[in-house]
Structure 1
Amino acid sequence: MPLNLKHIELPAFRLKSGKVQEISVSYQVFGRALHTAPIILLNHALTGNSSVTDWWSELVGDDKVIDTKQFTVLAFDIPGNGYDGNIDHLIFNYQDWTLFDVGAAFAKALQLLNISFIDLGIGGSIGGALLWEMMAQQPELFGTIVPIAADWKATDWVIACCHIQELILSTSSKPVELARQHAMTFYRSPQGLQSKFIRGKDASSFKVQKWLDFHGIELKKRFSLPAYRLLNQLLASADAAGNHGEDIAAITATSQTVIELIAIDSDGFFVAHEDRRTFDLLKREKDINYHEISSVHGHDAFLIEHDQVKEILSGIFQNRLPKSSKIACNKIRWLKSA
């Protein structure tokens, strides 16, 4: 467990379903201290965690595009992801949970940290879907959100993939290992695997088979079955429009948040076509932009194509942070004088 991992206890957290339970939200802060600089919130992906300077080290750190010398970088762990190693913080009633509940838990945590405004939120995959959910629940929270390889909803395709994941997790004798192997086939792309392995063999096995075995074993070492089942359930439940059905425009109409969509042309999971549809739907009413990463690597390209991600984020930071950070500074002054 990282030395700077902190916890916020929510002893009577109410789920959307009405169930009340005790949960713990762990988090880390990097760079400038809270309330001294613009805040960048980073939401992790399904098997990620709050140690963003580790898994996104190419982008987060001193003098990097997400510069810890200039900004306060805040990262929460999705409750129940098991990163703190405390079995009491795992969530076993995973079917009671939706991504809405995670957004509500983060809202409670932010309130307890006296944070009422976040200059810029960035999230990949489920972390990006969570940004949509947080904006829907708190329309004034963000200056800008940057969902990467994500969508505001789980499509039928995402739900189908998660359904198979749940079947593997429920029935297999090696649930985490085999579910991870299955997931890697839609997190990557046929072109990417072909370019990586070229049908190469090691002894009697194809290299791609050993690569899948490796990823399954490695995830089992650091990710528990309850955590995987919960995160898979959350991913399948993504729906920022909520009771508005497919009308995400009705949700975004209540918010002044700028939306910067980043899709991946070869993404076979959160497909780029859905982000393009969202952009076309909202562009007449919202301050929204669409960016696309070109890659053979599929969904995971946002963790691989560092140069392209840096270039896109650099432009977003340059265009968006000066405007929103003025608002943040005003709120900081207000908090200090209160």
Structure 2
Amino acid sequence: MTTVSIGSLTLESTEVLHNVELAYERCGKEGAPAILVCHALTGDQFAVGTAENPGWWSGLIGPGKAVDTDVFQVITFNVLGGCHGSTGPTSINPETGEPYRASFPLLTIRDMVRAEYAALKELGISHLTAVLGGSLGGMKALEWGHLYPDFVDGILPLAVTPAYSDYGVAFNWIGIQSIETDALFEGGNYVDSADLKGFELARMAAMVTYRSGNLFDQRFRRSTKEGQFQVESYLDYQGQKLAKRFDANSYLTLLKAMNTHDVSREKIDVEIFTLSFTYDLLYPSEQMIPWLKSMPNASWEIIETQFGHDGFLVEFEKWGEYIQKKLNSLVVPELMR
């Protein structure tokens, strides 16, 4: 695992994290125009991955693909507060010698972006052609445009809105309560995330928001196996799978950070290109487009899909060309500098 150290980081809360590290993946040729890719809630830094273990956006990023690693270098960080190598609740607190666990401080989306800005400077990257990400990653892309307009030429936030909706906060609250009221949670000092039935339930509730009702109906068709609806079995599997691979305290940290997202009153001067997806319950286009119209340099597309919010993770053939064209339009002036 590759990491970069950024030293101490002062958070918006004024708390200070020491010995901060961010795990990252870097693909493409060093010195090429740089694209920062930002993952979603339970993602990680392996957007591209390997031939044996393809990353979550391997269909979008690579040689000759929409994000062409023959043209760009692509950096993806595991988010601050995550559990795949970056400083988070599972990390050792240098002041105590023990894992942070429940004592890890609350974060905001801006804290995450500031950490990544510091990490990029440590990696010798002084400018970004674009920041690209969906969902939580889209929140970060918007904050990049707000916080560092001179550092980035354009932002491509996908499946996101300028502020996290009350509907989204409501589902986050269901998840938070499911985890924190689990009898084995122990105030965040649980033995193993996989033991927390509340964590599984939190994931199940979230899964219902990620795809359209039509897609659920088309896939499961009220079918049963051994007396259980197949959709119930699917949700059980997804809940157990996440609880085994992700840390519950990290999940809580990131949910609470998502709730802080709000750039709705900000003016973002950098070029914005965004994609919204039909049937996205959490980030509907009708909450995004009016705000985009108020920005000085924004454009967008709405992608027709039954996948709803998860549209930014699939069906690249429908929308990858939009990303490719926008990145190419941004890189031409970059190459002429």
Q: Which interval holds the TM-score relative to the shorter structure?
A: 0.7 to 0.9
Verify: 1:18 aligned to 2:35, yes or no.
no
**Distance across 2 between alignment mates of 1:74 and 1:61:** 12
Offset, 1:147? 0.4
1:129, CA displacement in angstroms?
A: 0.5
Match of 1:133 among 143, 151, 157: 143
Corresponding residue number in structure 1 for 2:3: 6
Q: Which residue of 2 aligns with 1:105?
A: 115
Count residues in correspondence: 308
Contact 1:40 1:72 in 2 (8 A): yes
1:94 Cα offset (Å): 5.0
CA contact (8 A) 2:4 2:119 kept: no
Q: CA RMSD in A?
A: 1.8
1:24 maps to a residue whose letter is E
Cα distance, 1:99 vs structure 2: 1.1
Letter in 2 for 1:47: T
Give 2:83's aligned residue.
82
Query: Any idea what SS the aligned residue of 1:88 has?
Result: coil
Partner of residue 248, structure 1: 266
Moved more, 154-163 or 140-149: 154-163
Report the counterpart of residue 278 of structure 1 in structure 2: 291
* Distance (whole Å) between structure 1 residues aligned to residue 294 and residue 46 of structure 2: 35
Structure 1: gaps spanning 5 or more residues: 241-245, 331-338
Amino acid across the alignment from 1:14: T
1:304 maps to 2:314: yes
- CA separation in 2, counterparts of 1:84 and 1:112? 17
**What is the aligned partner in structure 2 of residue 41 from structure 1?**
36
Q: Percent sequence identity over matched residues?
A: 27
Change (3 A) 1:95 1:14: closer
1:319 aligns with 2:329: yes
* Residues 176 and 138 (structure 1), Cα distance of their counterparts in 2 relative to 1, 3 Å cut: same
Superposition map of 1:43-58 within 5 A: 43-53=38-48, 54-58=55-59
- Aligned-pair distance for 1:116? 2.5
Q: Deviations over 1:235-279 (max 9, x none)?
A: 111123xxxxx4223xx1xx3x21001100110011111111122
Alignment-mate amino acid for residue 258 of structure 2: L
> Given residue 249 of structure 2, which amino acid in structure 1 is its aligned partner?
P
What do residues 288-332 of structure 1 show as CA deviations (whole Å, max 9, x unaligned)? 111111111110111122211212212212333212343xxx4xx
Q: Is the 8 A contact 1:80 1:91 kept in 2?
A: no
Q: Are the equivalent residues in 1 in contact too, given 2:15–2:105 (CA < 8 A)?
A: no
- Aligned equivalents of 2:291, 2:334: Cα separation in 1: 23
Residues 279 and 288, structure 1, Cα contact 8 Å, conserved in 2: yes
Instruction: Give the secondary structure class of the aligned counterpart of 1:230.
Output: helix
- Structure with the largest fraction of helix: 1
CA contact (8 A) 2:3 2:24 kept: yes
Please tell me whether residue 236 in structure 1 is matched to residue 237 in structure 2: no
Picking from 277, 292, 301, the partner of 1:291 is 301
1:176 to 178, 187, 199: 199
TM-score, normalising length from structure 2? 0.86
Deviation for aligned residue 1:85: 8.6
1:32 matched to 2:35: no
1:258 maps to 2:271: yes
- Aligned partner of 2:192 in structure 1 is none
Task: Kindly indicate whether the alpha-carbon contact (under 8 Å) linking 1:95 and 1:233 is maintained by their aligned counterparts in 2.
Answer: no
- For 1:271, the aligned partner's letter is P
Question: How far apart in 2 are the matches of 1:134 and 1:145?
Answer: 8
AA partner of residue 247 (structure 1): R
Partner residue in 1 for 2:130:
120
Q: Distance in 2 between matches of 1:113 and 1:235?
A: 27
- Answer whether contact 1:133 1:152 (CA < 8 A) is retained: no
Distance (Å, rounded) in 1 between the aligned partners of 2:104 and 2:322: 35
- Cα deviations by residue, 1:205-252 (Å, 9 ceiling, x for unpaired): 111111111111111121011111111111111123xxxxx4223xx1
Q: Offset at 1:16? A: 0.9
Distance 2:328 2:81 in 1: 35
Q: In structure 2, how many angstroms separate the alpha carbons of the residues matched to 1:148 and 1:238?
A: 15
After TM superposition, the structure 1 stretch with the greater mean CA deviation from structure 2, 151-160 or 48-57, is 151-160
Partner of residue 220, structure 1: 243
- Using the alignment, how far apart are the partners of 1:28 and 1:291 within structure 2? 29
Contact 1:199 1:206 in 2 (8 A): yes
Q: Give the whole-Å Cα distance in 2 for the aligned partners of 1:55 and 1:217.
A: 19
SS in 2 for 1:295: coil
The separation in 1 between residues aligned to 2:275 and 2:104, in whole angstroms, is: 29
